[in-house]
């Protein structure tokens, strides 16, 4: 072997080591989409558990009237941090993890477009999470201004508020980078023949979500930066005494906040739109209308923000506009639900765990949608504003919407990720336990809200005791269901178990079917049809 060849051989070895680092280096320097997707998913699971503990603190305090465990100030810190951690730490990173794992596979790309930026956008999250959670340890504690951080509360809190603002800036930067990556990957790296209108629905919903994120994260950054300068640099954006307006904060925040709600549900629609056809053994009904409905929802989400502000003294004209615009969003959403049901109609359905979560999603998400429609009616909303009815409504959309879809996606694609099948019986126990305890927790809140119980209060009138007890018992049951998932479903299915087939769902229930291929690289996405 000549010296030159010898040197080349060594260079190749080094290159090989660089591209496949082992141990902690594999994760710290990860540039492949699967490892980064996995990092996102573990991070979001940790945040889900953290936010869940805070939620159980809230429910423990509300188990009985009177102050049991916490002072009202700390109770409000719990509600604020629970909201921020769940939205920015659990749900959004989980969907980004799904995007990293699945989008390159679904469109036939080798990887994400910007591998190093992908790594950076993940590694911004842990420091931000540490900042956010450790604000509890600061003088004055974490911010108690609610997850919306409304002025003038947010301009008077202690240093925990500044840490929260910093954490949200970092998380926003992470979201923007992740979105740029997703848009570039989908638009530029599709396999030959994979036209936009042949993409799996999950890729479509994420393309639209990524545009939403790029559009609205800077708006949030603006709102919290103005709060910061009001706090420390003598500006008066939201201070009426200096010529500012606290309601302006609400306008800016909700111009971000309403599209944000759709950022947290559109990828869920994508996941459900993949699972329903697979277990109905039929192609998705009305694919094009699904794409258009998703786009319409995204566009409409920008013109409905002030329905969060009906109680701020808006002119009647504005109230009417925002009421009608909000009701209009129900139309494309209804189209999607109709299409899912039409896909199942006369399908050869089986109910493995992913399908259970997807059908459960449709049921509870639709309930959340209806209560949203009720809140859209201005005179009704003025009564229900800031009561537990609103809490019930958005938890039906976010827990039963986003979280159920995330579980559905895990059970559906998990075998592909880990190489092992989860335990079907345990998966079904997880689903039924979660569905029942979720409804026991949040359904009574509709009645509490209609009876006038305000949210974010550590104490309440005796008349609300029974429903609160019920909700608290349900909440602890729901929490335990997720602990069950972690220890009896997730960890065993990662450690080993039954090997997953190349197409994990092609032999379910012993049915034999052939797989039509409308486009290349549809891999295990293609809905099978019965022979």
Q: Which of 79, 80, 143, 147 is catalytic?
A: 147
Q: Which of 174, 280, 434, 526 is catalytic?
A: 174
Rounded CA-CA distance 492/421 in Å is 10
465 among known catalytic residues: no
How far from 289 is each of 23, 70, 331, 335, 363, CA to CA, in Å?
46, 50, 12, 8, 21
282 among known catalytic residues: no
Rounded CA-CA distance 128/100 in Å is 20
- 513: enclosing H helix or E strand: strand 513-514
Rounded CA-CA distance 260/132 in Å is 19
495 among known catalytic residues: no
Identify the CA nearest to 169 among candidates 226, 207, 94, 252.
Answer: 226
Q: Which of 162, 260, 352, 525 is catalytic?
A: 260
162 among known catalytic residues: no
How far from 96 is each of 177, 209, 342, 404, CA to CA, in Å?
11, 10, 29, 16
Q: Output the DSSP codes for 18-34.
A: HHS--THHHHHT--SHH
Rounded CA-CA distance 100/525 in Å is 16
336 among known catalytic residues: yes
Q: Which of 175, 185, 387, 418 is catalytic?
A: 175
Q: Which of 190, 307, 395, 446 is catalytic?
A: 307
Tokens for 77, please give them. 């810190």
273 among known catalytic residues: yes
Q: Which of 249, 262, 305, 505 is catalytic?
A: 262
326 among known catalytic residues: no
Tokens for 197, please give them. 């209108």
260 among known catalytic residues: yes
Q: Which of 34, 198, 455, 503 is catalytic?
A: 455
Q: Which of 135, 333, 343, 402 is catalytic?
A: 333
455 among known catalytic residues: yes
499 among known catalytic residues: no
Q: Which of 82, 395, 446, 522 is catalytic?
A: 82
308 among known catalytic residues: yes
229 among known catalytic residues: no
Q: Which of 258, 393, 395, 522 is catalytic?
A: 258
Q: Which of 59, 231, 281, 308 is catalytic?
A: 308
Rounded CA-CA distance 338/71 in Å is 47
- Is 222 in contact with 289 (CB distance < 8 Å)? no
Task: Decide: residue 450, CB within 10 A, 0-12 exposed, 13-18 middle, 19+ buried.
Answer: middle
Rounded CA-CA distance 110/81 in Å is 38
Rounded CA-CA distance 107/502 in Å is 18
| Active centre residues (catalytic) | 82, 111, 147, 174-175, 258, 260, 262, 273, 307-308, 333, 336, 455
């Amino acid at each position: 072997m000549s010296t030159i060849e010898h040197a080349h051989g060594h260079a190749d070895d080094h290159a090989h080591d660089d591209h496949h680092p082992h141990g902690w280096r594999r994760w710290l320097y990860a540039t492949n989409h699967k490892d980064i997707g996995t990092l996102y998913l573990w991070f979001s699971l940790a945040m889900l558990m953290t936010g869940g503990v805070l939620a159980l603190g809230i429910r423990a305090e509300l188990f009985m009237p009177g102050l049991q465990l916490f002072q009202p100030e700390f109770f409000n810190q719990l509600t604020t941090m629970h909201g921020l951690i769940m939205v920015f730490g659990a749900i959004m990173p989980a969907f980004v993890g799904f995007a990293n794992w699945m989008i390159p596979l679904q469109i036939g790309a080798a990887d994400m477009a910007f591998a190093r930026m992908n790594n950076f956008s993940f590694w911004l999250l842990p420091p931000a999470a540490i900042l956010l959670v450790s604000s509890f340890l600061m003088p004055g504690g974490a911010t108690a201004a609610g997850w919306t951080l409304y002025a003038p509360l947010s301009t008077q809190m202690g240093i925990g508020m500044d840490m929260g603002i910093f954490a949200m800036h970092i998380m926003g930067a992470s979201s923007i980078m992740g979105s740029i990556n997703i848009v570039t990957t989908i638009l530029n790296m599709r396999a030959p023949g994979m036209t936009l209108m042949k993409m799996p629905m999950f890729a479509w919903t994420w393309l639209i979500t990524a545009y939403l994120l790029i559009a609205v994260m800077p708006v949030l950054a603006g709102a919290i930066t103005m709060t910061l300068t009001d706090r420390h640099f003598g500006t008066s954006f939201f201070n009426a005494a200096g010529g500012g307006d606290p309601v302006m904060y609400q306008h800016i925040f909700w111009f971000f906040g309403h599209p944000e709600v759709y950022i947290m549900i559109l990828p869920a629609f994508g996941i459900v739109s993949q699972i329903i056809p697979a277990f109905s053994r039929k192609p998705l009904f009305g694919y094009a209308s699904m794409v258009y409905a998703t786009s319409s929802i995204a566009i409409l989400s920008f013109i409905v923000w002030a329905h969060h502000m009906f109680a701020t003294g808006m002119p009647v004209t504005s109230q009417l506009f925002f009421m009608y615009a909000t009701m209009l969003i129900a139309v494309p959403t209804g189209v999607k639900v109709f299409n899912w049901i039409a896909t199942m109609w006369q399908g050869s359905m089986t109910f493995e765990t992913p399908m259970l979560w997807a059908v459960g999603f449709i049921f509870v998400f639709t309930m959340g949608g209806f209560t949203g429609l009720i809140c859209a009616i201005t005179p009704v909303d003025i009564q229900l504003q800031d009561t537990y009815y609103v809490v019930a409504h958005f938890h039906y959309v976010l827990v039963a919407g986003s979280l159920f879809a995330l579980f559905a996606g895990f059970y559906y694609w998990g075998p592909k990720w880990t190489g092992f099948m989860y335990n079907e019986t345990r998966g079904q126990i997880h689903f039924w336990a979660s569905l029942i305890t979720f409804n026991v927790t949040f359904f009574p809140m509709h009645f509490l809200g209609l009876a006038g119980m305000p949210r974010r209060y550590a104490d309440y009138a005796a008349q609300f005791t029974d429903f609160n007890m019920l909700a608290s018992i349900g909440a602890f049951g729901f929490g335990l269901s997720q602990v069950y998932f972690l220890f009896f479903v997730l960890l065993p299915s990662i450690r080993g178990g039954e090997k997953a087939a190349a197409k994990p769902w092609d032999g379910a229930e012993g049915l034999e079917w052939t797989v039509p291929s409308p486009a290349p690289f549809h891999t295990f996405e293609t809905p099978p049809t019965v022979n």
